[in-house]
Amino acid sequence: MEQSRFSNQIKWYSFILCILVVLIHTQNTDIFTGQLSIVNEIETFVVEKIARPANAGFFLCSGYLFYRNFDMSRLIYKWKRRLFSTVVPFMVWNLAYYVIHLIISKMPVISGYFNDEAVFSGNELFQAIVNCKYNQIFWFLQFLIVYIYICPVIYLLIRNKYTGLSALLGILLLVGSGYPNQFGGTLSSMVNWVFIYMAGGYLGLHGRRWIESLEKRKDALIVISIGVAASHTYFRICPGIVGQLLCFLFDAMFLWSVLSYVRLPETRWWMKDTFYIYAVHFMIVRVGNKLAYACAGDYMGMGLWMFLLLPVFVVLFCGCSGRLLKRYTPFLWKILSGDR
């Protein structure tokens, strides 16, 4: 696959995953409590059956791109690039959300729209910037930063084709044992998701010809489809975190394989700023749903309309505001977007 087609497919893949993440957070069954049960079932089905692999897709793609043609001579270069594309925007956005919460907490009319009451202190500032207390959707980026900076350990485990497979299997066994749960939810989740990230890294090191090949795309689609069927069957028989991770992995790979199988048009300008969409969408959809409920309640299926239309509004808002930021404040845009 030529580089231009590969880059375009990455953009399509990231955009679709981003929309799925927005849909997860647009779910409003906890706000529109009086809407028809069929509406709740539709939203739950979309979120839990269709959109759930979105985070896995981001981890898989991130691992693949980081380790694609990686060797230790490129470590410092990779770390420097990720410092400006992940760490800096992570801290800036977390600080921005903290400041917004501080301001809103002084405005009683709208302060009720947020669950976390912000107070100003050194400890709260630390919790906000490092632990994403007021920007909890950035847990993904927090995990990703950890994975990036433990790169030498991950690379040592997956640089060989056979030891890499053994390491992935070992992580699944560790997760299945429940042992990481003893160290708290954050560490346990980090161990769960590192499996997906390492699987992406493994494919980046050892499966590039297979993943990016145009000649083998039909074979890849068939193999991955079998993996999807097998993982979902296993999860039905043995429900648990291991089966769930396998489902996430193969579902995310299936989406990539489908996109490889078709000739995708060039991504439009409003599809390219996925990090910006990811960073700002949560506040928009949460406040939008609560304002709609305050104004119209459950009248005329308002909850379903908001579920369907808010992702469209988020994309349009981010596309237009992103263009303005690029044009009039390019330095600020580079920081907010990670210079993507």
What's the pLDDT tens digit per position in 290-306?
888 888 887 778 989 99
CA nearest neighbour of 143 among 76, 198, 220, 74: 198
pLDDT of residue 192: 95
pLDDT of residue 340: 78
Residues 159 and 181 in one domain: yes
Task: Provide the pLDDT confidence category of residue 185 given band limits of 50, 70 and 90.
Answer: confident
Task: Provide the pLDDT confidence category of residue 108 given band limits of 50, 70 and 90.
Answer: low
Residues 24 and 92 in one domain: no
- Apex 100 CA angle, 96 and 102, nearest 5: 115
Average pLDDT over residues 305-326: 94
* pLDDT > 60? residue 114: no
Residues 57 and 135 in one domain: yes
pLDDT of residue 115: 59
* pLDDT > 80? residue 118: no
Is 244 a member of any domain? Answer: no
C-alpha dihedral sign at 179, 183, 188, 194: negative
Cβ–Cβ under 8 Å, residues 227 and 215? no
On average, the pLDDT of the chain sits at 90
pLDDT of residue 163: 95
pLDDT of residue 1: 65
Among 106-115, 137-146, 255-264, 286-295, the minimum mean pLDDT is found in: 106-115
On the CB side of 34, CA atoms within 13 Å amount to: 7
Average pLDDT over residues 252-266: 91
* pLDDT > 90? residue 280: yes
Cβ–Cβ under 8 Å, residues 158 and 205? yes
Residues 110 and 29 in one domain: no
Cβ–Cβ under 8 Å, residues 138 and 94? yes
Cβ–Cβ under 8 Å, residues 94 and 126? no
Is 288 a member of any domain? Answer: yes
* pLDDT > 70? residue 109: no
What is the value of pTM for the model shown? 0.92
pLDDT of residue 152: 96
Helix pair angle (302-328, 330-337), 10° resolution: 130
Is 239 a member of any domain? Answer: no
Residue ending a domain, among 190, 218, 246, is 218
* pLDDT > 80? residue 113: no
Average pLDDT over residues 6-30: 94
Residues 115 and 211 in one domain: yes
DSSP secondary structure of 193-228:
HHHHHHHHHHHHHH-HHHHH-STTHHHHHHHHHHHH
List, for residues 324-335, the tens digit of each pLDDT value. Answer: 999 999 999 999
Residues 192 and 88 in one domain: yes
* pLDDT > 80? residue 161: yes
Residues 127 and 158 in one domain: yes
* For the chain, percent of residues with pLDDT exceeding 90: 68
pLDDT of residue 104: 80
Average pLDDT over residues 139-152: 96
Q: What's the residue count for the chain?
A: 340
Residues 98 and 175 in one domain: yes
* pLDDT > 60? residue 202: yes
* pLDDT > 80? residue 220: yes
Q: Domain of 309?
A: 17-52+270-340
Q: Output the 3-class SS for 92-146.
A: HHHHHHHHHHHHHHCCHHHHCCCCCCCCCCHHHHHHHHHHCCCCHHHHHHHHHHH
CA nearest neighbour of 200 among 57, 13, 64: 64
Among 39-48, 60-69, 118-127, 265-274, the minimum mean pLDDT is found in: 118-127
Residues 285 and 206 in one domain: no
Residues 97 and 22 in one domain: no
Residues 186 and 281 in one domain: no
What is the number of other CB atoms lying within 10 angstroms of the CB of residue 197? 26
pLDDT of residue 112: 57
* pLDDT > 80? residue 236: yes
Residues 153 and 290 in one domain: no
